[in-house]
Structure 1
């Protein structure tokens, strides 16, 4: 049975500053923060595991990609440290002091800012993929995605500044709740734009090869699932913030949002080889698999005549009478590395056994 605490009133009988009486139960304040913080730390362990796997498997990637991964990993570690400090300052350091229930610890603002930075990097990463799928056109949907992501980052910066200045949840909600609300709305909007755009361009560029069609179908399925996960967490945070600002459920959920984005990016990069070689499960097998983009196809080579030679075990099983499948492409067949992670195929390709 949880106790309900209220802020003390002034001598005149009216509520003391910040002029709002918040009835807070221990379970919905400290309990929500604790559960959200522990879940965030658990997901941070998944980020560390993903980072180790990336370093071991993709150590030959370009420094641009590796630098992005290292930055995400360091930001995630910093965010986890701030979450730990927030839990300590809110639950342990102020234990039994009812006057501190409405106080915002100094680390909450920076934690919100780090969440926005991680979100911005991940969303820009997927915006770059959309740019590539659009054949690098100047007028692209990636531009408004990046613009809205920048606006979301600005909102988070204002939130951090005001929280550090006001140091009161109720005062911040009274005067600046629209800023935090707008930031969450923009984040959910960008996630929706990225998901819809990726699905559209993946289906639009879907080639007429059986194995590649399977890859595109799998990418589309997990694009929807992964985008829905981050969007759902953001929208849940927004709902709790608008309907229950007197408790800290929104804060516990917000702790988790940064980890979902970091895991989304690292899992996307780590699963490329498995998808490319066909070792990942299809969506009907109920196995977890993130959104991925295609990397160099193992045992694949481009001949001097411009034909793509595929010699994977899966294709050998599908064509037992031929040791190799040669795909002659009329215009361009291009297999790029991790900087672009795309494969352009024309509809005029023809397959013939060698």
Structure 2
């Protein structure tokens, strides 16, 4: 292993991965704003703010690569300090996480009707934001890597609370969607896809946050933590935009029988009428009433009659019949 692999090398890897993710963010942002979604102004404002933060941070990341590899090419003493790009990264990541978790926490509130659960998620998210901002500013004040000892507890609090909010959101959404299964092939196929989206919502961001925390605690003399810190904000934005843009594919997948306009994890299904045929045989025509979330912002619910065609076989689940 070369002399600068764990300093320059890992930093460049993190910046390159961040740049790749920013390309995906740009594509998804264009897709979102060219699609005909009726989202509330506050949702569109969150998307716009996230794109602005991601753009600013990605520009700073490119500058950090230039500053490290060009400006200080013959200045090894530079690596004993941190430039302003590291504090900026911490602050930008905290903002991206807080905005994304705020949106997801709102979905949890609508689906579960639990103000206590949504409140706990909100507190964890805010504490992660607060400690992240504080750690970023404090690292700029300390400036020298050798003085980073007092910074450790604040970084730990930041990434722990941030990860706790992600885990709570993910577990709650998976649990809620599992309860929503009906036993019908079409609805369960969509719900299973939403469950996969729920897993993706918190999995990747949590992994990178924990890797960032452990790298900072145990390999502080290197830039290994920066390799994980740079892309975290883009992971949050990509997750949120993918969730919003997935509504078109969900509608196409379900065809004309159900007009589902729901981002990942905000659809709820409830069977209220019994099928009209003998359930021991293949069903030719089933009429049920289902509660379908029709608005991404408020998760407003409409009750609709749905007709299932000859390829649907009813399989009771969760004791619902």
TM-score (norm 1): 0.74
Which among 231, 239, 247 is matched to residue 214 of structure 2? 239
Q: Where do 1:187-206 residues align within 5 Å?
A: 187-206=162-181
Structure 1's 351 and 49: CA in aligned 2 closer, same or farther, altered over 3 A? Answer: closer
Q: Give secondary structure in 1 for the equivalent of 2:82.
A: coil
Which among 128, 151, 154 is matched to residue 176 of structure 1? 151
Higher relative contact order (CA 8 A, sep 6+): 2
Q: Does residue 265 of the first structure (1) align with residue 240 of the second (2)?
A: yes
CA–CA separation in structure 2 for the residues paired with 1:343 and 1:214: 20
Q: Which residue of structure 2 lines up, in the alignment, with residue 292 of structure 1? A: 264
Structure 1 runs (4+) greater than 6 angstroms displaced: none
Q: Give secondary structure in 2 for the equivalent of 1:141.
A: helix
Indicate if the aligned counterparts of 2:211 and 2:228 stay in contact, CA closer than 8 A: yes
Indicate if the aligned counterparts of 1:294 and 1:343 stay in contact, CA closer than 8 A: no
Which among 44, 55, 78 is matched to residue 33 of structure 2? 55
Q: Give secondary structure in 2 for the equivalent of 1:53.
A: helix
Q: Which residue of structure 1 lines up, in the alignment, with residue 65 of structure 2? A: 87
Q: Give secondary structure in 1 for the equivalent of 2:99.
A: helix
TM-fit CA distance, 1:64: 2.1
Q: Which residue of structure 2 lines up, in the alignment, with residue 64 of structure 1? A: 42
Q: Which has the larger displacement, 212-221 or 243-252?
A: 212-221
Q: Which residue of structure 1 lines up, in the alignment, with residue 17 of structure 2? A: 39
Q: Which residue of structure 2 lines up, in the alignment, with residue 146 of structure 1? A: 122
CA–CA separation in structure 1 for the residues paired with 2:173 and 2:37: 27
Q: Which residue of structure 1 lines up, in the alignment, with residue 294 of structure 2? A: 336
Q: Does residue 102 of the first structure (1) align with residue 80 of the second (2)?
A: yes
What is the aligned-residue RMSD (CA, Å)?
3.0
CA–CA separation in structure 2 for the residues paired with 1:86 and 1:183: 23
What are the ranges of 5 or more consecutive residues in structure 1 without an aligned counterpart?
A: 3-24, 281-290, 296-306, 308-317
What are the ranges of 5 or more consecutive residues in structure 2 without an aligned counterpart?
A: 256-262, 268-272, 274-281, 310-321
Structure 1's 97 and 129: CA in aligned 2 closer, same or farther, altered over 3 A? Answer: same
Indicate if the aligned counterparts of 2:197 and 2:265 stay in contact, CA closer than 8 A: no
Q: Give secondary structure in 2 for the equivalent of 1:337.
A: coil
Q: Which residue of structure 1 lines up, in the alignment, with residue 279 of structure 2? A: none
TM-score (norm 2): 0.82
1:234-271 deviations in whole A, cap 9, x for unaligned? 11112211221111011111101111111000000001
Structure whose residues are more often helix by fraction: 2
Query: Which has the larger Rg?
Result: 1
CA–CA separation in structure 2 for the residues paired with 1:352 and 1:78: 49
